[in-house]
Structure 1
Amino acid sequence: MRFHCESLSIPTSAPIQIIDVTDRVRDVLKAHPVGNGHLILTSSHTTAFVALNERETMLQQDMLDFLSRVAPPGAGYGHDRDPVDGRPNAHSHLIGLFMNASEIIPIADGELLLGGWQSIFFIELDGPRDQRLLRIQIAGES
């Protein structure tokens, strides 16, 4: 059994941003190949998440619009009155209730078993940020 762990550094440039990291994750798997196993992606943040979904320009805009409407900033949230890190970001935490901090993707014959329309997205809800981390763990047989 082989194991590998590393982190991808992801800078973000918008308050809410959907970043396709599929190719970067595949590159990590190519550098640390396993034949059969799984890959675990984990966001190290409470306001940034990982998701599998379709990569299509209009759909991604629909996603951004939807997330912006779910919990709009500045709606009088208690957390914003005295935020721990000085960022009035209660809306980001509330939107995050509907998202996953991690995803598990099977690996077969050295390839990620993603559906035909699936891409891997890192979703920023409290940007911009100079650096966010997406942790990758690979486990499997050679």
Structure 2
Amino acid sequence: MRFHCESLTIPTSAPIQIIDVTERVRDLLKANPIRNGHLILASSHTTAFVALNERETMLQQDMLDFLARVAPPGAGYRHDRDPVDGRPNAHSHLIGLFMNASEIIPVADGELMLGGWQSVFFIELDGPREARKLRIQIAGED
């Protein structure tokens, strides 16, 4: 079994943002000799996550609206009184309790084995940020 590790740098431009990274992940996979195995995506952050879901404009807006309602900013959270990085972002951490920091996608014949409606999303909950990191590990055989 072979392993390959890489990172994607993702700038974000909004407080809560859903970014489709499917094609970037596919491009990394195509440039790799591993043809069969699995691909692991892992966010390096406590306020940014990875999800597999449907890419449809109205649904994505529904997702953004839902996330903003789950834990609205400025609701008197204790963490916001003295945040370690100067960002009052307790709401971002709380929303993150319902999200995944990583996803595993099977790979067969050099292709991501996603469902017909699935896309890979990087979800920012505490933006904007200049450079978020999405770690990618590909494991398998040529």
In the superposition, the TM-score normalised over structure 1's length comes to 0.99
Name the amino acid aligned to 2:9.
S
Rounded Cα–Cα distance in structure 1 between residues aligned with 2:33 and 2:75: 47
In the superposition, the TM-score normalised over structure 2's length comes to 0.99
Residue 34 of structure 1, CA deviation: 1.7
Name the amino acid aligned to 2:73.
P
Rounded Cα–Cα distance in structure 2 between residues aligned with 1:31 and 1:107: 14
Give 3-state SS (helix, strand or coil) of 2:49's partner.
Answer: strand
1:10-89 residue pairs with structure 2 within 5 A?
Answer: 10-89=10-89
Rounded Cα–Cα distance in structure 2 between residues aligned with 1:73 and 1:79: 11
Rounded Cα–Cα distance in structure 2 between residues aligned with 1:16 and 1:61: 11
Give 3-state SS (helix, strand or coil) of 2:29's partner.
Answer: helix
Alignment correspondent of 1:112 = 112
Q: Does 1:131 find its partner at 2:131?
A: yes
Give the total of aligned pairs.
142
Unpaired runs of 5+ residues, structure 2, are: none
Rounded Cα–Cα distance in structure 2 between residues aligned with 1:34 and 1:6: 13
Rounded Cα–Cα distance in structure 2 between residues aligned with 1:141 and 1:48: 30
Rounded Cα–Cα distance in structure 1 between residues aligned with 2:33 and 2:18: 27
Alignment correspondent of 2:102 = 102
> What CA RMSD, in Å, does the superposition of the two structures yield over aligned residues?
0.5
Q: Displaced runs of 4+ in structure 1, greater than 4 A?
A: none
What per-residue deviation string (whole Å, max 9, x for no partner) do you get for residues 26-82 of structure 1?
000011132210000000000000000000000000000000000000000000000
Name the amino acid aligned to 1:64.
L
Name the amino acid aligned to 2:137.
Q
Unpaired runs of 5+ residues, structure 1, are: none
Name the amino acid aligned to 2:29.
L
Name the amino acid aligned to 2:11.
P
